[in-house]
Amino acid sequence: LVSNALGYLADGDGVRFTGRPKDVETLTAMREGLADDPLRPTFHVTPPANWLNDPNGLIHWNGRYHLFYQYNPTGPFHNTIHWGHAVSDDLIHWEDRPVALSPSPDGPDRDGCWSGCAVDDDGTATILYTGGRDKKQLPCIATAADETLSSWVKDPANPVIEETPAEPEVLRTEDWEGEFRDHCVWREDGVWHQLIGAGMEGGGGAALLYVSENLRDWEYRGPILSGDRDTAGTVWECPELLDFGDRHLLHVSNYEDVVYFLGTYDDGEFTAERRDKLDHGDFYAPQSMWTDDGRILTWGWIPEARDVSAQWDAGWSGTMSLPRELTLADDGGLCQRPAPELTALRGANTHHDELRLSSGDRQRVDVESRAFELRATVRLEDAEAVELSVLETPNRAERTPIRYTRDSEMYVDRSESSHDPEATTATQRMRVTPYDSPLSLRVFVDGSVVEVFANERHCLTSRVYPTSEDATGISLAADGGRATVASLDVWEMQSAWDAEREPSVRE
């Protein structure tokens, strides 16, 4: 028997953990039990312990923001998926709520309550999600049993769609009778519309459209868009259609990346004009929420990039990205900014103006931190590249350099991020269109997460696992010439899980 950070025991047959934490005290105790882990993010949404994947059911309800997530309460691995639940009054401070949705032993969701979304059905909070049973993926519906969205009543008519459509024929695999899951639901001209993600037999991924008067009886319309498998993957998971007025954005997750298409959507058909990745690193299955003032905020799952045994030992796996605000620029391109709400988490500030870097000269910033936001405006001058290194030990044996080059590429170099041989060392990269010269950079570092926003357009989310206690340094350097950091700010970030805060009493 092997125990992990939470004292769970496992043997060759799996995890011996029988309790399903239902009360907030237990969840809080689990969260506190992991608080000393320096790799655990503090201002991102994390599971109290155990496994988290996709964000689900994002909704502003009764004055509070609700974020549900794919959760395995029995261990830090993907199995017996429930919906975990966190709530917030301001989108940045979060509280754990009890597990909201669990598989029913005799239901179509017996093997898991997979990803889905929430809608307001004329005053009733309603979720659509995928139930898993044997080899089937079965769309299900549930309504809120109370105003805190803590428990849900599953519809006796579940599953609300029993068969996959005949055309296109849905991909069958050894494991699944049809790759057919995840839900994006909206109301248009008084009719409910739903997208379900799918793979097509002999083809690529597809986002399939259904319509309904009542959220329960669905009529199939066909794919709004499908992709060829060589460039867009064999299965599209978690499709989401976002309405920007005269233009639409459709994003899909294809096992590797989140691909987005910008274009127009009309009467069941999506015409793509541009296509790119929403993020060039470890970011998957995002879902969005509309704020009351009409903004789109998007969260994605940031998976681990280390061995499963390290996840087991840690007692937790997966975290949410920070919320990003999506807008369209005047030139029609997609902008992604950290949600402005996040500035409320900023603590102590360090500021510099006009830091001049000459080739080969490295300057350390006088901050030691593993939980900070860094904002910089960088002019390359005649340098070939400029480098910002984070989570760096004093001797630089562990470090994570973020490099920006003259040919507008950005790299997160993880080759020296960790002494742990189980942690990934792969370099991640993205092309940064120099819309603005100089480069505008926002970097959020939180334990083992590095989230990079360049020119408010391009994102790269990364996981790194420094082992040294003093991997807390930040330094700047230029290569092959001079560069100027026109302004630099570093803010220590406060925790999103403030034990000092009054617990929610709005039961």
Interface residues with ligand FRU (CB under 6 A)? 53-54, 70, 81, 114-115, 130, 181-182, 237-238, 284-285
Residue 131 CA to residue 343 CA, distance in Å, equals 38
Residue 373 CA to residue 368 CA, distance in Å, equals 12
Instruction: Answer whether 482's CB lies under 8 Å from 380's CB.
Output: no
Residue 454 CA to residue 156 CA, distance in Å, equals 48
Nearer to ligand FRU, 103 or 338 (CB): 103
Contacts of 183 (CB under 8 A, 6+ apart): 115, 116, 117, 128, 129, 130, 139, 194, 195, 196
| Least gap, CB of 423 to ligand FRU (angstroms) | 22
Nearer to ligand FRU, 165 or 401 (CB): 165
At residue 216, φ and ψ (nearest 5 deg) are -115, -35
Nearer to ligand FRU, 284 or 453 (CB): 284
Instruction: Answer whether 130's CB lies under 8 Å from 140's CB.
Output: yes
Local structure of 211: helix, strand or coil: strand
| Least gap, CB of 54 to ligand FRU (angstroms) | 5
| Least gap, CB of 186 to ligand FRU (angstroms) | 19
Residue 439 CA to residue 385 CA, distance in Å, equals 12
Nearer to ligand FRU, 130 or 455 (CB): 130
| Least gap, CB of 357 to ligand FRU (angstroms) | 41
| Least gap, CB of 199 to ligand FRU (angstroms) | 11
Q: List the one residue out of 303, 285, 344, 278 whose CA is nearest residue 448.
A: 303
Local structure of 6: helix, strand or coil: coil
Please identify which residue in the block is written with the tokens 């370099």: 427
Please identify which residue in the block is written with the tokens 């399903």: 20
| Least gap, CB of 56 to ligand FRU (angstroms) | 8
Nearer to ligand FRU, 59 or 113 (CB): 113
Max Cα-Cα span within the chain: 69
| Least gap, CB of 260 to ligand FRU (angstroms) | 16
| Least gap, CB of 184 to ligand FRU (angstroms) | 12
Looking at 382-470, which runs of residues are DSSP E strands? 385-392, 400-405, 409-412, 428-431, 439-446, 449-454, 458-463
Nearer to ligand FRU, 238 or 488 (CB): 238
Local structure of 28: helix, strand or coil: helix
Instruction: Answer whether 130's CB lies under 8 Å from 137's CB.
Output: yes
Nearer to ligand FRU, 238 or 278 (CB): 238
| Least gap, CB of 59 to ligand FRU (angstroms) | 18
Nearer to ligand FRU, 205 or 438 (CB): 205
Residue 417 CA to residue 310 CA, distance in Å, equals 16
Residue 264 CA to residue 220 CA, distance in Å, equals 21
Residues designated as active site: 54
| Least gap, CB of 255 to ligand FRU (angstroms) | 8
Nearer to ligand FRU, 48 or 55 (CB): 55
Cβ of 285: how many Cβ atoms within 10 Å? 23
Instruction: Answer whether 76's CB lies under 8 Å from 311's CB.
Output: yes
Residue 258, Cα to own-chain centre: how many angstroms?
10
Nearer to ligand FRU, 113 or 449 (CB): 113
Instruction: Answer whether 305's CB lies under 8 Å from 424's CB.
Output: yes
The CB-based long-range contact list for 134-139 (8 Å cut-off, 24+ gap) reads 135/175, 135/176, 135/177, 136/108, 136/176, 136/177, 136/178, 137/176, 137/177, 137/178, 137/179, 137/180, 137/181, 138/108, 138/109, 138/162, 139/183, 139/196, 139/218
